[in-house]
Chain A
Amino acid sequence: MGGGLVGSPVEAAPLRAAPHDHRAPATPQLVRSAEVLRLEDVTIAYDRHPVVHHISGAFQARSLTALVGPNGAGKSTLLKAIAGLLPVTAGEIRFGIDRRAIGYLPQVVDVDRSFPLRVVDVVDFGHWRKIGALHRLAREDRAASVAAVAAVGLAGLEHQPIGKLSVGQFQRVLFARLMVQEAALILLDEPFNAIDQKTTADLMDVVRGWQAEGRTVIAALHDLEQVKRDFPDALLMARELVAWGPARQTLSDENLARARALAGGWSDPAAAICAR
Protein backbone atom coordinates (compact mmCIF):
# COMPACT_ATOMS: atom_id res chain seq x y z
CA MET A 1 0.00 0.00 0.00
CA GLY A 2 1.39 3.43 -0.91
CA GLY A 3 -0.17 4.59 2.37
CA GLY A 4 1.83 7.55 3.64
CA LEU A 5 2.41 9.07 0.21
CA VAL A 6 -1.00 10.73 -0.10
CA GLY A 7 -0.40 12.67 3.09
CA SER A 8 3.06 13.83 1.98
CA PRO A 9 3.45 17.44 0.73
CA VAL A 10 4.08 16.36 -2.84
CA GLU A 11 0.70 14.71 -3.22
CA ALA A 12 -1.27 16.93 -0.86
CA ALA A 13 -0.84 20.04 -2.99
CA PRO A 14 -2.99 18.99 -5.98
CA LEU A 15 -5.73 17.91 -3.58
CA ARG A 16 -5.93 21.39 -2.07
CA ALA A 17 -5.88 22.92 -5.51
CA ALA A 18 -9.12 21.19 -6.40
CA PRO A 19 -11.41 21.65 -3.40
CA HIS A 20 -14.55 21.35 -5.51
CA ASP A 21 -13.84 17.76 -6.38
CA HIS A 22 -15.94 15.79 -3.92
CA ARG A 23 -14.87 12.54 -5.48
CA ALA A 24 -11.33 13.13 -4.31
CA PRO A 25 -9.68 9.81 -3.53
CA ALA A 26 -10.36 8.63 -0.02
CA THR A 27 -7.49 8.89 2.41
CA PRO A 28 -5.57 5.67 2.99
CA GLN A 29 -7.02 5.59 6.49
CA LEU A 30 -10.56 5.24 5.14
CA VAL A 31 -9.53 2.65 2.59
CA ARG A 32 -7.99 0.63 5.34
CA SER A 33 -11.00 0.83 7.62
CA ALA A 34 -13.46 -0.06 4.87
CA GLU A 35 -11.46 -3.23 4.67
CA VAL A 36 -11.71 -4.78 8.08
CA LEU A 37 -9.39 -7.61 7.30
CA ARG A 38 -7.08 -8.57 4.47
CA LEU A 39 -5.52 -11.98 4.00
CA GLU A 40 -2.29 -11.78 2.05
CA ASP A 41 -1.19 -15.19 0.82
CA VAL A 42 -1.90 -16.66 4.24
CA THR A 43 -0.62 -20.15 5.02
CA ILE A 44 -1.09 -21.75 8.41
CA ALA A 45 0.55 -25.10 9.08
CA TYR A 46 0.57 -27.57 11.93
CA ASP A 47 3.91 -29.32 12.09
CA ARG A 48 4.71 -28.09 8.53
CA HIS A 49 1.48 -29.52 7.08
CA PRO A 50 -0.55 -26.59 5.77
CA VAL A 51 -4.21 -26.47 6.81
CA VAL A 52 -4.77 -23.04 5.34
CA HIS A 53 -2.85 -22.79 2.08
CA HIS A 54 -2.01 -19.54 0.25
CA ILE A 55 -5.32 -17.77 0.78
CA SER A 56 -5.70 -14.12 -0.21
CA GLY A 57 -8.61 -11.72 -0.13
CA ALA A 58 -10.37 -9.08 1.94
CA PHE A 59 -13.39 -8.77 4.20
CA GLN A 60 -15.22 -5.47 3.80
CA ALA A 61 -16.65 -3.58 6.75
CA ARG A 62 -20.27 -4.54 7.59
CA SER A 63 -20.01 -7.72 5.54
CA LEU A 64 -21.63 -10.95 6.67
CA THR A 65 -19.58 -13.85 5.36
CA ALA A 66 -20.07 -17.58 5.78
CA LEU A 67 -16.92 -19.67 5.89
CA VAL A 68 -17.75 -22.97 4.20
CA GLY A 69 -15.79 -26.12 3.42
CA PRO A 70 -15.49 -29.82 4.21
CA ASN A 71 -14.26 -31.06 7.59
CA GLY A 72 -10.57 -30.39 7.97
CA ALA A 73 -10.71 -27.58 5.40
CA GLY A 74 -9.03 -25.13 7.79
CA LYS A 75 -12.05 -23.01 8.68
CA SER A 76 -11.48 -23.13 12.42
CA THR A 77 -7.77 -22.68 11.95
CA LEU A 78 -8.28 -19.56 9.87
CA LEU A 79 -10.67 -18.09 12.46
CA LYS A 80 -8.23 -18.83 15.27
CA ALA A 81 -5.43 -17.14 13.38
CA ILE A 82 -7.60 -14.06 12.77
CA ALA A 83 -8.47 -14.03 16.46
CA GLY A 84 -4.74 -13.99 17.19
CA LEU A 85 -4.70 -17.38 18.87
CA LEU A 86 -2.53 -19.10 16.23
CA PRO A 87 0.56 -17.80 14.44
CA VAL A 88 0.48 -17.47 10.66
CA THR A 89 3.15 -19.68 9.05
CA ALA A 90 3.57 -17.61 5.92
CA GLY A 91 1.90 -14.56 4.42
CA GLU A 92 0.17 -11.94 6.52
CA ILE A 93 -3.16 -10.96 8.01
CA ARG A 94 -3.64 -7.19 7.91
CA PHE A 95 -6.24 -5.46 10.03
CA GLY A 96 -8.14 -2.26 9.29
CA ILE A 97 -9.39 -2.23 12.87
CA ASP A 98 -7.90 -2.42 16.32
CA ARG A 99 -6.98 -6.06 16.82
CA ARG A 100 -8.44 -5.92 20.30
CA ALA A 101 -11.86 -5.19 18.82
CA ILE A 102 -12.33 -8.79 17.73
CA GLY A 103 -14.92 -11.02 19.33
CA TYR A 104 -14.39 -14.76 18.90
CA LEU A 105 -16.73 -17.63 19.70
CA PRO A 106 -14.91 -20.97 19.34
CA GLN A 107 -16.58 -24.12 18.09
CA VAL A 108 -16.17 -25.90 21.39
CA VAL A 109 -16.34 -23.63 24.38
CA ASP A 110 -14.53 -25.79 26.85
CA VAL A 111 -16.27 -24.69 30.02
CA ASP A 112 -17.33 -26.47 33.14
CA ARG A 113 -21.10 -26.02 33.03
CA SER A 114 -21.43 -26.84 36.72
CA PHE A 115 -19.25 -23.84 37.54
CA PRO A 116 -20.91 -21.66 40.19
CA LEU A 117 -21.73 -18.65 38.02
CA ARG A 118 -24.99 -16.97 37.07
CA VAL A 119 -26.00 -16.06 33.52
CA VAL A 120 -25.25 -12.38 34.08
CA ASP A 121 -21.83 -13.16 35.59
CA VAL A 122 -20.81 -14.93 32.39
CA VAL A 123 -22.08 -12.05 30.24
CA ASP A 124 -20.20 -9.57 32.47
CA PHE A 125 -16.92 -11.18 31.39
CA GLY A 126 -17.61 -9.64 27.97
CA HIS A 127 -16.61 -6.30 29.52
CA TRP A 128 -13.09 -7.63 30.19
CA ARG A 129 -11.34 -5.35 27.71
CA LYS A 130 -12.87 -2.41 29.52
CA ILE A 131 -12.54 -3.39 33.16
CA GLY A 132 -9.67 -5.89 33.06
CA ALA A 133 -8.69 -7.81 36.13
CA LEU A 134 -8.99 -5.01 38.65
CA HIS A 135 -11.51 -2.32 37.74
CA ARG A 136 -15.01 -2.17 39.08
CA LEU A 137 -17.88 -3.20 36.85
CA ALA A 138 -19.75 0.07 36.29
CA ARG A 139 -23.49 0.23 36.74
CA GLU A 140 -24.02 0.87 33.02
CA ASP A 141 -21.84 -2.13 32.16
CA ARG A 142 -24.07 -4.34 34.28
CA ALA A 143 -27.11 -2.76 32.63
CA ALA A 144 -25.59 -3.57 29.23
CA SER A 145 -25.16 -7.18 30.31
CA VAL A 146 -28.77 -7.45 31.44
CA ALA A 147 -29.93 -5.84 28.18
CA ALA A 148 -27.82 -8.33 26.20
CA VAL A 149 -29.35 -11.23 28.11
CA ALA A 150 -32.78 -9.92 27.14
CA ALA A 151 -31.69 -9.36 23.53
CA VAL A 152 -30.77 -13.02 23.10
CA GLY A 153 -34.18 -14.05 24.43
CA LEU A 154 -33.29 -14.96 27.99
CA ALA A 155 -34.98 -12.02 29.76
CA GLY A 156 -35.65 -12.88 33.38
CA LEU A 157 -32.99 -15.59 33.54
CA GLU A 158 -30.11 -13.23 34.47
CA HIS A 159 -29.72 -14.75 37.91
CA GLN A 160 -30.16 -18.34 36.84
CA PRO A 161 -27.10 -20.55 37.54
CA ILE A 162 -25.59 -21.60 34.22
CA GLY A 163 -25.77 -25.24 35.27
CA LYS A 164 -29.54 -25.11 34.81
CA LEU A 165 -29.45 -23.96 31.18
CA SER A 166 -30.00 -26.10 28.11
CA VAL A 167 -27.34 -26.24 25.40
CA GLY A 168 -29.30 -23.78 23.29
CA GLN A 169 -29.78 -21.39 26.20
CA PHE A 170 -26.09 -21.52 27.00
CA GLN A 171 -25.25 -20.67 23.40
CA ARG A 172 -27.56 -17.67 23.76
CA VAL A 173 -25.56 -16.63 26.85
CA LEU A 174 -22.32 -16.82 24.86
CA PHE A 175 -23.89 -14.63 22.17
CA ALA A 176 -24.86 -12.13 24.87
CA ARG A 177 -21.27 -12.11 26.08
CA LEU A 178 -20.10 -11.40 22.51
CA MET A 179 -22.67 -8.64 22.31
CA VAL A 180 -21.31 -6.69 25.26
CA GLN A 181 -17.77 -7.00 23.91
CA GLU A 182 -18.72 -4.30 21.39
CA ALA A 183 -16.42 -5.94 18.83
CA ALA A 184 -16.01 -4.47 15.36
CA LEU A 185 -15.26 -7.90 13.93
CA ILE A 186 -17.07 -10.98 15.21
CA LEU A 187 -15.85 -14.51 14.46
CA LEU A 188 -18.25 -17.41 14.98
CA ASP A 189 -17.03 -20.99 14.64
CA GLU A 190 -19.94 -23.35 13.93
CA PRO A 191 -22.25 -21.33 16.18
CA PHE A 192 -25.37 -23.34 15.35
CA ASN A 193 -24.07 -26.87 15.86
CA ALA A 194 -26.50 -28.91 17.98
CA ILE A 195 -28.76 -25.87 18.26
CA ASP A 196 -32.48 -26.15 17.44
CA GLN A 197 -34.22 -24.20 14.66
CA LYS A 198 -35.90 -21.64 16.89
CA THR A 199 -32.65 -20.77 18.69
CA THR A 200 -30.77 -20.65 15.39
CA ALA A 201 -33.37 -18.27 13.94
CA ASP A 202 -33.24 -16.04 17.04
CA LEU A 203 -29.46 -15.95 17.09
CA MET A 204 -29.38 -15.27 13.35
CA ASP A 205 -31.53 -12.20 14.09
CA VAL A 206 -28.91 -11.15 16.61
CA VAL A 207 -26.19 -11.58 13.96
CA ARG A 208 -28.18 -9.45 11.47
CA GLY A 209 -28.56 -6.85 14.22
CA TRP A 210 -24.78 -6.76 14.57
CA GLN A 211 -24.40 -6.22 10.86
CA ALA A 212 -26.96 -3.40 10.95
CA GLU A 213 -24.91 -1.78 13.73
CA GLY A 214 -21.92 -1.75 11.40
CA ARG A 215 -20.09 -4.79 12.68
CA THR A 216 -18.43 -7.36 10.44
CA VAL A 217 -19.28 -11.01 10.96
CA ILE A 218 -17.46 -14.12 9.73
CA ALA A 219 -19.09 -17.43 10.60
CA ALA A 220 -17.90 -20.95 9.84
CA LEU A 221 -20.96 -23.01 8.92
CA HIS A 222 -21.94 -26.41 7.58
CA ASP A 223 -25.60 -25.92 6.66
CA LEU A 224 -25.40 -24.83 3.00
CA GLU A 225 -29.13 -24.08 2.81
CA GLN A 226 -28.80 -21.73 5.75
CA VAL A 227 -25.79 -20.03 4.18
CA LYS A 228 -27.67 -19.44 0.90
CA ARG A 229 -30.68 -18.18 2.82
CA ASP A 230 -29.05 -15.99 5.48
CA PHE A 231 -25.58 -14.98 4.31
CA PRO A 232 -24.90 -12.46 1.55
CA ASP A 233 -21.30 -13.62 1.08
CA ALA A 234 -19.49 -16.91 1.35
CA LEU A 235 -15.88 -18.06 1.34
CA LEU A 236 -15.53 -21.65 0.20
CA MET A 237 -12.24 -23.22 1.18
CA ALA A 238 -10.66 -26.64 1.20
CA ARG A 239 -7.31 -25.62 2.63
CA GLU A 240 -6.95 -23.75 -0.66
CA LEU A 241 -9.36 -20.99 -1.53
CA VAL A 242 -12.04 -22.42 -3.85
CA ALA A 243 -14.33 -19.42 -4.28
CA TRP A 244 -15.17 -16.19 -2.49
CA GLY A 245 -18.06 -13.88 -3.30
CA PRO A 246 -21.85 -13.72 -3.22
CA ALA A 247 -23.07 -16.85 -1.45
CA ARG A 248 -25.16 -18.35 -4.24
CA GLN A 249 -22.44 -18.11 -6.87
CA THR A 250 -19.78 -19.28 -4.46
CA LEU A 251 -21.73 -22.36 -3.46
CA SER A 252 -22.35 -23.52 -7.01
CA ASP A 253 -22.37 -27.28 -7.62
CA GLU A 254 -19.18 -26.93 -9.57
CA ASN A 255 -17.33 -25.16 -6.74
CA LEU A 256 -18.62 -27.59 -4.15
CA ALA A 257 -17.46 -30.52 -6.25
CA ARG A 258 -14.04 -28.92 -6.54
CA ALA A 259 -13.86 -28.51 -2.75
CA ARG A 260 -14.78 -32.16 -2.29
CA ALA A 261 -12.14 -33.23 -4.79
CA LEU A 262 -9.49 -31.20 -2.97
CA ALA A 263 -10.53 -32.78 0.33
CA GLY A 264 -9.83 -36.22 -1.14
CA GLY A 265 -6.11 -35.55 -1.47
CA TRP A 266 -5.23 -34.78 2.14
CA SER A 267 -4.43 -38.21 3.49
CA ASP A 268 -1.03 -38.53 1.80
CA PRO A 269 1.52 -38.28 4.64
CA ALA A 270 4.54 -37.95 2.34
CA ALA A 271 4.08 -34.49 0.91
CA ALA A 272 6.78 -32.58 -0.90
CA ILE A 273 7.84 -29.09 0.19
CA CYS A 274 5.47 -26.50 -1.24
CA ALA A 275 7.12 -24.59 -4.08
CA ARG A 276 4.70 -21.64 -4.09
Chain B
Amino acid sequence: MQLVHDVLAQPFIEFGFMRRALVACLALSISAGPIGVFLVLRRMSLMGDAMSHAILPGAAIGFLVAGLSLWAMSLGGLVVALVVALSAGAMSRVTPLKEDAALAGFFLISLALGVLLVSVKGSSVDLLHILFGTLLAVSDSALLLIAGASTVTVVALALVYRTLILECFDPGFLRAVGGRGGLAHATFLALVVLNMVAAMQALGTLMAIGLMMLPATSARLWTISIGRMVGLAVLLAMLSSVAGLIVSYHVNLPSGPSVILAAGCVYLVSLAVGSNGGLLRRYIRRPHLEH
Protein backbone atom coordinates (compact mmCIF):
# COMPACT_ATOMS: atom_id res chain seq x y z
CA MET B 1 0.00 0.00 0.00
CA GLN B 2 2.80 2.32 0.95
CA LEU B 3 4.50 1.46 -2.33
CA VAL B 4 1.40 2.30 -4.35
CA HIS B 5 1.13 5.60 -2.52
CA ASP B 6 4.79 6.38 -3.11
CA VAL B 7 4.65 5.58 -6.79
CA LEU B 8 1.29 7.07 -7.73
CA ALA B 9 0.56 9.90 -5.30
CA GLN B 10 3.87 11.07 -3.87
CA PRO B 11 5.06 13.04 -6.89
CA PHE B 12 1.83 15.04 -7.02
CA ILE B 13 1.65 15.60 -3.26
CA GLU B 14 5.21 16.72 -3.00
CA PHE B 15 5.66 18.93 -6.04
CA GLY B 16 3.47 21.80 -7.17
CA PHE B 17 4.81 21.67 -10.72
CA MET B 18 3.67 18.05 -10.98
CA ARG B 19 0.17 19.02 -9.86
CA ARG B 20 0.09 21.82 -12.41
CA ALA B 21 1.25 19.49 -15.14
CA LEU B 22 -1.43 17.01 -14.12
CA VAL B 23 -4.21 19.60 -14.13
CA ALA B 24 -3.04 20.92 -17.50
CA CYS B 25 -3.02 17.44 -19.01
CA LEU B 26 -6.39 16.44 -17.58
CA ALA B 27 -8.05 19.64 -18.80
CA LEU B 28 -6.50 19.18 -22.23
CA SER B 29 -7.68 15.56 -22.29
CA ILE B 30 -11.30 16.60 -21.82
CA SER B 31 -11.31 18.71 -24.97
CA ALA B 32 -8.61 17.00 -27.04
CA GLY B 33 -10.38 13.62 -26.81
CA PRO B 34 -13.59 14.62 -28.60
CA ILE B 35 -11.70 16.87 -31.05
CA GLY B 36 -9.53 13.89 -31.94
CA VAL B 37 -12.58 11.68 -32.49
CA PHE B 38 -13.93 14.11 -35.06
CA LEU B 39 -10.54 14.44 -36.73
CA VAL B 40 -10.52 10.64 -37.07
CA LEU B 41 -14.10 10.52 -38.35
CA ARG B 42 -13.44 13.30 -40.85
CA ARG B 43 -10.29 11.54 -42.04
CA MET B 44 -8.32 14.60 -41.06
CA SER B 45 -5.90 12.76 -38.80
CA LEU B 46 -2.86 14.18 -40.52
CA MET B 47 -4.37 17.60 -41.02
CA GLY B 48 -4.16 18.34 -37.33
CA ASP B 49 -0.47 17.79 -37.69
CA ALA B 50 -0.33 20.17 -40.63
CA MET B 51 -2.31 22.77 -38.74
CA SER B 52 0.01 22.62 -35.76
CA HIS B 53 2.75 23.93 -38.03
CA ALA B 54 0.61 26.87 -38.99
CA ILE B 55 0.71 28.10 -35.40
CA LEU B 56 4.45 28.60 -35.61
CA PRO B 57 4.72 31.86 -37.60
CA GLY B 58 2.02 33.46 -35.47
CA ALA B 59 3.74 32.44 -32.28
CA ALA B 60 7.00 33.67 -33.74
CA ILE B 61 5.52 37.05 -34.58
CA GLY B 62 4.19 37.28 -31.02
CA PHE B 63 7.64 36.32 -29.79
CA LEU B 64 9.31 38.97 -31.95
CA VAL B 65 6.94 41.66 -30.73
CA ALA B 66 6.70 40.82 -27.04
CA GLY B 67 9.43 38.29 -26.26
CA LEU B 68 8.53 35.09 -24.42
CA SER B 69 5.03 36.26 -23.51
CA LEU B 70 2.42 33.54 -23.40
CA TRP B 71 -0.45 35.79 -24.39
CA ALA B 72 1.32 37.43 -27.32
CA MET B 73 2.52 34.12 -28.70
CA SER B 74 -0.84 32.41 -28.18
CA LEU B 75 -2.75 35.23 -29.80
CA GLY B 76 -0.35 35.32 -32.74
CA GLY B 77 -0.54 31.55 -33.14
CA LEU B 78 -4.32 31.55 -32.89
CA VAL B 79 -4.80 34.26 -35.49
CA VAL B 80 -2.37 32.87 -38.06
CA ALA B 81 -3.49 29.26 -37.65
CA LEU B 82 -7.15 30.26 -37.92
CA VAL B 83 -6.44 32.22 -41.08
CA VAL B 84 -4.56 29.24 -42.55
CA ALA B 85 -7.19 26.66 -41.54
CA LEU B 86 -10.18 28.69 -42.68
CA SER B 87 -8.62 29.80 -45.95
CA ALA B 88 -7.62 26.20 -46.69
CA GLY B 89 -11.22 25.18 -45.98
CA ALA B 90 -12.51 27.97 -48.21
CA MET B 91 -10.04 27.18 -51.02
CA SER B 92 -11.16 23.56 -51.03
CA ARG B 93 -14.72 24.71 -51.55
CA VAL B 94 -14.08 27.17 -54.39
CA THR B 95 -11.13 25.58 -56.25
CA PRO B 96 -10.68 22.00 -57.46
CA LEU B 97 -8.08 21.43 -54.72
CA LYS B 98 -9.06 19.03 -51.97
CA GLU B 99 -8.77 20.32 -48.44
CA ASP B 100 -5.60 18.36 -47.63
CA ALA B 101 -3.80 19.75 -50.68
CA ALA B 102 -4.97 23.29 -49.97
CA LEU B 103 -3.89 22.98 -46.35
CA ALA B 104 -0.52 21.46 -47.23
CA GLY B 105 0.27 24.46 -49.40
CA PHE B 106 -0.57 26.94 -46.66
CA PHE B 107 1.10 25.08 -43.84
CA LEU B 108 4.37 24.58 -45.71
CA ILE B 109 4.54 28.33 -46.24
CA SER B 110 3.71 28.87 -42.57
CA LEU B 111 6.31 26.45 -41.32
CA ALA B 112 9.11 27.97 -43.38
CA LEU B 113 8.02 31.46 -42.39
CA GLY B 114 7.82 30.45 -38.73
CA VAL B 115 11.30 28.95 -38.61
CA LEU B 116 12.63 32.00 -40.43
CA LEU B 117 10.99 34.43 -37.99
CA VAL B 118 12.12 32.57 -34.89
CA SER B 119 15.71 32.36 -36.09
CA VAL B 120 15.79 36.09 -36.84
CA LYS B 121 15.61 36.91 -33.15
CA GLY B 122 15.36 33.84 -30.98
CA SER B 123 17.42 30.69 -30.67
CA SER B 124 16.70 27.10 -31.55
CA VAL B 125 15.87 26.50 -27.87
CA ASP B 126 12.93 28.88 -28.14
CA LEU B 127 11.79 27.07 -31.25
CA LEU B 128 11.95 23.74 -29.43
CA HIS B 129 9.81 25.17 -26.62
CA ILE B 130 7.13 26.22 -29.05
CA LEU B 131 7.15 22.90 -30.85
CA PHE B 132 7.47 20.58 -27.85
CA GLY B 133 6.43 22.61 -24.80
CA THR B 134 7.64 22.63 -21.22
CA LEU B 135 5.11 20.63 -19.28
CA LEU B 136 6.83 21.00 -15.92
CA ALA B 137 6.90 24.79 -16.11
CA VAL B 138 3.25 25.53 -16.83
CA SER B 139 2.46 29.05 -15.65
CA ASP B 140 -0.76 30.27 -14.05
CA SER B 141 -1.80 32.05 -17.19
CA ALA B 142 -1.13 28.94 -19.26
CA LEU B 143 -3.33 26.92 -16.90
CA LEU B 144 -6.09 29.51 -17.24
CA LEU B 145 -5.74 29.44 -21.02
CA ILE B 146 -5.97 25.65 -21.06
CA ALA B 147 -8.98 25.55 -18.75
CA GLY B 148 -10.72 28.26 -20.74
CA ALA B 149 -10.04 26.60 -24.09
CA SER B 150 -11.22 23.27 -22.74
CA THR B 151 -14.48 24.77 -21.48
CA VAL B 152 -15.16 26.64 -24.71
CA THR B 153 -14.41 23.49 -26.70
CA VAL B 154 -16.78 21.25 -24.77
CA VAL B 155 -19.65 23.75 -25.02
CA ALA B 156 -19.07 24.59 -28.69
CA LEU B 157 -18.71 20.93 -29.66
CA ALA B 158 -21.99 20.12 -27.95
CA LEU B 159 -23.65 22.80 -30.10
CA VAL B 160 -22.30 21.53 -33.43
CA TYR B 161 -22.15 17.83 -32.49
CA ARG B 162 -25.05 16.54 -34.58
CA THR B 163 -24.26 18.79 -37.54
CA LEU B 164 -20.64 17.67 -37.51
CA ILE B 165 -21.58 14.00 -37.48
CA LEU B 166 -23.96 14.41 -40.41
CA GLU B 167 -21.45 16.63 -42.21
CA CYS B 168 -18.86 13.86 -41.92
CA PHE B 169 -21.25 11.08 -42.82
CA ASP B 170 -23.38 12.51 -45.61
CA PRO B 171 -22.61 16.16 -46.44
CA GLY B 172 -24.90 16.08 -49.49
CA PHE B 173 -27.88 15.15 -47.34
CA LEU B 174 -27.06 17.83 -44.77
CA ARG B 175 -27.03 20.40 -47.58
CA ALA B 176 -30.31 19.10 -48.99
CA VAL B 177 -32.08 19.44 -45.62
CA GLY B 178 -30.66 22.91 -45.07
CA GLY B 179 -28.10 22.18 -42.35
CA ARG B 180 -25.25 24.62 -41.70
CA GLY B 181 -22.42 22.25 -42.56
CA GLY B 182 -19.93 24.95 -43.50
CA LEU B 183 -20.47 26.78 -40.23
CA ALA B 184 -20.04 23.59 -38.21
CA HIS B 185 -16.87 22.76 -40.11
CA ALA B 186 -15.42 26.24 -39.56
CA THR B 187 -16.29 26.06 -35.86
CA PHE B 188 -14.60 22.71 -35.63
CA LEU B 189 -11.42 23.95 -37.33
CA ALA B 190 -11.35 26.91 -34.96
CA LEU B 191 -11.64 24.54 -31.99
CA VAL B 192 -8.78 22.41 -33.29
CA VAL B 193 -6.58 25.49 -33.52
CA LEU B 194 -7.71 26.78 -30.13
CA ASN B 195 -6.77 23.52 -28.47
CA MET B 196 -3.38 23.40 -30.11
CA VAL B 197 -2.62 26.96 -29.09
CA ALA B 198 -3.79 26.26 -25.55
CA ALA B 199 -1.54 23.22 -25.40
CA MET B 200 1.41 25.15 -26.80
CA GLN B 201 3.16 25.95 -23.53
CA ALA B 202 2.35 22.64 -21.86
CA LEU B 203 2.93 20.08 -24.58
CA GLY B 204 4.01 22.17 -27.54
CA THR B 205 2.08 22.36 -30.77
CA LEU B 206 3.47 19.12 -32.18
CA MET B 207 2.98 17.01 -29.06
CA ALA B 208 -0.53 18.39 -28.51
CA ILE B 209 -1.66 16.55 -31.63
CA GLY B 210 -0.60 13.33 -29.91
CA LEU B 211 -3.03 13.86 -27.08
CA MET B 212 -5.76 14.50 -29.66
CA MET B 213 -5.12 11.73 -32.13
CA LEU B 214 -3.74 8.77 -30.20
CA PRO B 215 -6.59 8.31 -27.66
CA ALA B 216 -9.19 8.96 -30.37
CA THR B 217 -7.67 6.44 -32.77
CA SER B 218 -7.43 3.94 -29.94
CA ALA B 219 -11.08 4.49 -29.03
CA ARG B 220 -12.08 3.77 -32.66
CA LEU B 221 -10.60 0.29 -32.20
CA TRP B 222 -12.85 -0.50 -29.25
CA THR B 223 -16.32 0.76 -30.09
CA ILE B 224 -18.57 1.62 -33.03
CA SER B 225 -20.66 4.21 -31.20
CA ILE B 226 -19.57 7.82 -31.64
CA GLY B 227 -20.76 8.76 -28.16
CA ARG B 228 -18.76 5.97 -26.59
CA MET B 229 -15.75 6.85 -28.73
CA VAL B 230 -15.79 10.37 -27.33
CA GLY B 231 -16.04 9.14 -23.74
CA LEU B 232 -13.39 6.50 -24.19
CA ALA B 233 -11.01 8.94 -25.90
CA VAL B 234 -11.25 11.33 -22.95
CA LEU B 235 -10.69 8.47 -20.51
CA LEU B 236 -7.69 7.12 -22.41
CA ALA B 237 -6.18 10.60 -22.74
CA MET B 238 -6.48 11.13 -18.99
CA LEU B 239 -5.03 7.72 -18.26
CA SER B 240 -2.09 8.39 -20.57
CA SER B 241 -1.52 11.77 -18.93
CA VAL B 242 -1.31 10.31 -15.44
CA ALA B 243 0.79 7.34 -16.52
CA GLY B 244 3.14 9.50 -18.58
CA LEU B 245 3.70 11.99 -15.77
CA ILE B 246 4.34 9.29 -13.17
CA VAL B 247 6.79 7.42 -15.37
CA SER B 248 8.58 10.62 -16.37
CA TYR B 249 8.95 11.55 -12.69
CA HIS B 250 10.35 8.24 -11.51
CA VAL B 251 12.59 7.51 -14.47
CA ASN B 252 13.55 11.15 -14.89
CA LEU B 253 12.43 11.54 -18.51
CA PRO B 254 11.01 14.61 -20.25
CA SER B 255 7.34 14.70 -19.30
CA GLY B 256 5.63 15.91 -22.50
CA PRO B 257 6.98 13.13 -24.70
CA SER B 258 6.32 10.63 -21.88
CA VAL B 259 2.63 11.53 -21.84
CA ILE B 260 2.40 11.17 -25.61
CA LEU B 261 4.33 7.89 -25.54
CA ALA B 262 1.96 6.57 -22.87
CA ALA B 263 -0.90 7.41 -25.24
CA GLY B 264 1.15 5.70 -27.96
CA CYS B 265 1.36 2.52 -25.86
CA VAL B 266 -2.42 2.57 -25.40
CA TYR B 267 -2.72 2.90 -29.18
CA LEU B 268 -0.41 -0.04 -29.87
CA VAL B 269 -2.26 -2.22 -27.38
CA SER B 270 -5.58 -1.23 -28.96
CA LEU B 271 -4.22 -2.04 -32.40
CA ALA B 272 -3.29 -5.49 -31.16
CA VAL B 273 -6.31 -6.48 -29.11
CA GLY B 274 -9.01 -3.86 -29.85
CA SER B 275 -12.47 -5.44 -29.92
CA ASN B 276 -13.50 -3.48 -33.03
CA GLY B 277 -10.99 -4.41 -35.69
CA GLY B 278 -7.88 -5.14 -33.61
CA LEU B 279 -5.25 -7.37 -35.20
CA LEU B 280 -5.78 -10.28 -32.82
CA ARG B 281 -9.38 -10.68 -33.96
CA ARG B 282 -8.20 -10.85 -37.50
CA TYR B 283 -5.77 -13.67 -36.96
CA ILE B 284 -7.69 -15.81 -34.51
CA ARG B 285 -9.77 -18.12 -36.66
CA ARG B 286 -13.10 -18.90 -35.11
CA PRO B 287 -15.46 -21.39 -36.72
CA HIS B 288 -18.03 -19.70 -38.93
CA LEU B 289 -21.71 -19.70 -38.07
CA GLU B 290 -24.67 -21.16 -39.92
CA HIS B 291 -25.95 -17.79 -41.09
Contacts and interface: CB of A to CB of B under 8 A. Distances in A.
Interface of A: 83-85, 100, 102, 104, 106, 109-112, 115-118, 122, 125, 128-129, 132-134, 161, 163, 177, 181
A220 B168 CA distance: 27
Contacts of B169: 111-112, 115, 117, 122, 125
Main SS at interface, chain B? helix
Interface stretch (B4-12, B51-59, B101-109, B176-184): B176-184
A252 B194 CA distance: 63
A125 B166 contact: yes
A118 B173 CA distance: 17
Interface of B: 41, 43, 159-160, 162-163, 165-166, 168-180, 184, 220, 223-226, 229
Nearest to A113: B169
A133 B229 contact: no
Contact of B175 (A85, A109, A111, A129): A85
Contacts of A106: 172
A157 to B, nearest CB: 14
Contact of B166 (A100, A118, A128): A128
B176 A83 contact: yes
A40 B44 CA distance: 44
A109 B178 contact: no
Contact of B178 (A100, A110, A115, A163): A100
A177 B169 CA distance: 14
A264 to B, nearest CB: 30
A133 to B, nearest CB: 5
Contact of A133 (B41, B160, B168, B224): B160
Given A109-B170, A133-B180, A133-B184, 17 more contacts: A102-B176, A109-B172, A109-B173, A110-B170, A111-B169, A112-B43, A112-B168, A115-B168, A115-B169, A116-B220, A116-B224, A117-B169, A118-B225, A122-B169, A125-B166, A132-B179, A161-B224
B225 A133 contact: no
Contacts of B173: 109, 125, 177
Nearest to B163: A133
A129 B174 CA distance: 10
A116 B226 contact: yes
Nearest to B184: A133
Given A115-B41, A128-B166, A133-B160, A110 B223 contact: no
Nearest to B228: A116
A133 B163 CA distance: 6
A134 B159 contact: yes
Contacts of B178: 100, 128-129
Contacts of A104: 176
B262 to A, nearest CB: 25
A122 B176 CA distance: 15
A83 B177 CA distance: 10
A86 B31 CA distance: 38
B226 to A, nearest CB: 5
B172 A128 contact: no
A135 B202 CA distance: 37
B224 A110 contact: no
Among all A-B residue pairs, the 9 with the closest Cβ atoms: A116-B224, A128-B177, A133-B163, A111-B170, A104-B176, A115-B169, A161-B224, A133-B162, A116-B226
Contacts of A112: 43, 168-169
Contact of B172 (A102, A110, A117): A110
A132 B175 CA distance: 12
Nearest to B169: A115
Given A125-B166, A128-B166, A116 B223 contact: yes
B226 A133 contact: no
B17 to A, nearest CB: 39
Contacts of B165: 117
In this complex, which of B171, B177, B224 has the most chain A Cβ atoms within 10 angstroms of its Cβ? Answer: B177
Contacts of B41: 115-116
Contacts of A115: 41, 168-169
A85 B162 CA distance: 22
